[in-house]
Amino acid sequence: MLLFFCWIYCLTVLHAQEPVGFKAFASSRRPILGASGHLGYLRMSIDEGQYEVNMNKNYQLIVPEAEFMPLHIWTGENQYNFTDTDWLLGATLNTTGWAQQHYYQTRGHSLVWAYDSRIPTWLLEQEASITPEKAKSLLSDYIHTVVGRYRGKIESWFVINEAISDYNETRPYNLRDSFWYRKLGSNFILYAFQFAREADPSVNLLFNEYAIESGGLKAERTLAFIGWLQSQQIPIHGMGMQWHIDMTEVVTPGDAHYQIAQRFIDLNISLIVSELDIAIPMNQGQPIDPNALEKQANIYRSILQYVLHFFPRIPEMITWGYTDRFSWIPKAKKHTMGLGLPSDCQYQPKPAYWQLQEELGRVITDGIYKISLQSQTNQCLGTSTNSTNSTLQLYDKDDCNRMNTQWNITWLGDGTYRFSPQSALNSALNTSNATAPVGQVMTTIWTGDFTQEWTISLQENDTFHIAPRNAYWRILAADRTSKIVIVDTNMPVSQRWTITAI
């Protein structure tokens, strides 16, 4: 049934290239990219493992879509379902789960969803008999139990989710009516943050809200709400701005999106793009606008540019899912909208994916460059001969104007670059045994093989890491004897390069 649904309501976008994946561009100079995920799909290794493989290839942070929600985890007073979350993170302090084993950061989403349809049924059924004191005790027990169980294993928690109403209300800060508000008033929010801080003093505590990314009345009320929390000495570190948007959204530098972001940042909190998707108007399973995918791609790129503009005050960009195969949009919008994510139903990259990859990975333009170590700028990288097959070495500055020390660097479109010495343009930088303790580097005739493709990631002080595509987590470096090798980033070697146009 699911596959049938996907064929009807999703498009498959064909592309000749295989992307290197967003993870190849991870660095301290770039925001963390993440996605929400279905833990059940990961556990079942659905679609012959494609769901997990593509997630691992691209994302650094995972947000379980439902498994941390009270509706899923809190089955009764002092009763919890930790099956999925224990699988993700490990059941005890000294155990690990899927997230740690695959080097993910994890966000808990969320401790309190201030909306009755998202509150456990057993609580609502007992509401008439629950006193405010009992409600506070229940909330304390729940938050201390859940946050305490995964103490030190979670990067951050959305403590409160979607507390601000869409309509004009008489409640303070336009808070929603919910079980928790009826029992504890607006103090339920203060209690939730307080209990989370007690349960894990080191975790980041966040608020999450939708429909505020371009300003307006709801955004103004959210600003006032954050200010109130701070006035109560509540330890709020940041907030999620969800960004469930459609094709009408236009994001340009300095516009209302930038202005409202700056106002939140001015409150001395971090801002996170927390649930991004961009819905396309549909008719009978097809986009109404034949150019919709390209237009969507431009919007995705403009939002990434917005994140990069504010980085590190906007440290993360999270999409709500990553493949149209399992998007919430078609069902929620009665199939009038869809195709909201960067990958299609068959896990193939859409134009949005390619635009994001280029914005992240294309850090220099095509041209001829001199490559030097940051620690040895009076030397430059070159080939030891002018032939196609050559070893590499560092040359003194007097030799840095020769053809064998000048590099033609070309963007290949899949997230990688080709490095060819000017002395042998039919050759390219190549790796051998890139995952060995010490990987080898040389130039060989250009064949377009993955071993000849390289990623470049921006580091501090306009320096770069250069990494082989087939081992993007490692780096090109000079060892203590100045031999050029591929090693892990934690090795005591010279590993940051300057790339200077000639």
Describe the crossing of helices 256-265 and 217-231 by its angle, rounded to 10 degrees: 10
pLDDT digits (tens, 9 = 90+) for 398-420: 999 999 999 999 999 999 999 99
Q: Is the distance from CB of 98 to CB of 143 less than 8 angstroms? A: no
Q: How far apart are CA 220 and CA 217, in angstroms?
A: 5
Rounded distance between C-alpha atoms, residue 126 and residue 113, angstroms: 18
CB 453 within 8 A of CB 428: no
Q: Categorize the per-residue pLDDT at 12 as very low, low, confident or very high, splitting at 50, 70 and 90.
A: low
Same domain for 166 and 224, yes or no, is: yes
Last residue of a domain, one of 308, 338, 361: 361
Say yes or no: 316 and 245 in one domain: yes
- Taking alpha carbons only, the member of 390, 416, 415, 418 closest to residue 403 is 390
* CATH label of the domain that carries residue 253: 3.20.20.80
CA distance 142 to 458: 43
What sign for the dihedral angle of Cα 64, 70, 74, 80? positive
Q: Write the pLDDT tens digit of every residue in 161-181.
A: 999 999 999 999 999 999 999
Domain for residue 339, yes or no? yes
Q: From 177, 190, 77, select the one nearest 125 (Cα to Cα).
A: 77
Reported confidence tier of residue 27, pLDDT bands at 50, 70, 90: confident
Res 87: pLDDT: 98
Same structural domain for residues 255 and 394? no
- 77: containing domain: 30-361
Least confident of 8-22, 62-76, 444-458: 8-22
Q: In terms of domains, do 43 and 125 share one?
A: yes
pLDDT tens track for 263-273: 999 999 999 99
Q: List the CATH number of the domain containing 422.
A: 2.80.10.50
Q: Is residue 300 part of a domain?
A: yes
Out of 345, 361, 377, a domain closes at: 361
Indicate if 324 and 411 belong to the same structural domain. Answer: no
Q: For residue 8, is it within any domain?
A: no
Q: Within this chain, do residues 204 and 320 fall inside the same structural domain, yes or no?
A: yes
Residue 129 has pLDDT above 70, yes or no: yes
Can you point out the beta strands (E) in 289-391? 316-319, 337-338, 367-373, 379-383
Q: What is the rounded CA–CA span in Å between residue 314 and residue 240?
A: 10
Both 66 and 135 in one domain: the answer is yes
Mean pLDDT, the chain, as a whole number? Answer: 95
Q: In the listed set 361, 380, 414, which residue is the last one of a domain according to the structure? A: 361
| CA gap 236, 160 in Å, rounded | 11
Query: What gap in Å lies between CA 32 and CA 121, rounded to an integer?
Result: 36
How many helical (H) and strand (E) elements, i.e. helices and strands, does the chain have?
A: 15, 25
DSSP 194-230: HHHHHH-TTSEEEEEESS-TT-SHHHHHHHHHHHHHH
466: tokens are 């250069």
| Residue 301, in any domain of the structure | yes
| Residue 5 pLDDT exceeds 70 | no
Instruction: Please tell me the distance from the alpha carbon of residue 174 to that of residue 92, in angstroms, as a whole number.
Output: 40
Residue 265, in any domain of the structure: yes
Q: Which of 274, 272, 275 is nearest to 311 (CA)?
A: 272
Q: What is the enclosing helix (H) or strand (E) of 395?
A: strand 392-396
Q: Are 200 and 151 in contact (CB under 8 A)?
A: yes
The answer to whether residue 274 scores a pLDDT higher than 90 is yes
Q: Exposure of 260 by Cβ count < 10 A (0-12 exposed, 13-18 middle, 19+ buried)?
A: buried
Query: Residue 7 falls within a domain, yes or no?
Result: no
What span, in angstroms and rounded, lies between the C-alpha atoms of 33 and 25?
10
Identify whether residues 306 and 415 lie together within a single domain.
Answer: no
What is the distance between the alpha carbons of residues 92 and 51, in angstroms, rounded to a whole number?
Answer: 27
Q: Is residue 164 part of a domain?
A: yes
Burial class (CB in 10 A: 0-12, 13-18, 19+), 467: buried
**Residue 18, domain member (yes or no):** no
Question: What pLDDT band is residue 492 in, cutting at 50, 70 and 90?
Answer: confident
- Residue 72: phi and psi, rounded to 5, are -95, -40
Distance CA 235, CA 247 (A): 36
3-state secondary structure (DSSP) of residue 462 = helix
Asked if 280 and 339 count as a contact pair (C-beta separation under 8 A), the reply is: yes
pLDDT digits (tens, 9 = 90+) for 337-382: 999 999 999 999 999 999 999 999 999 999 999 999 999 999 999 9
Alpha-carbon distance of 95 to 232, in angstroms, equals: 36
216, 218, 296 from 221: Cα distances, Å: 9, 5, 29
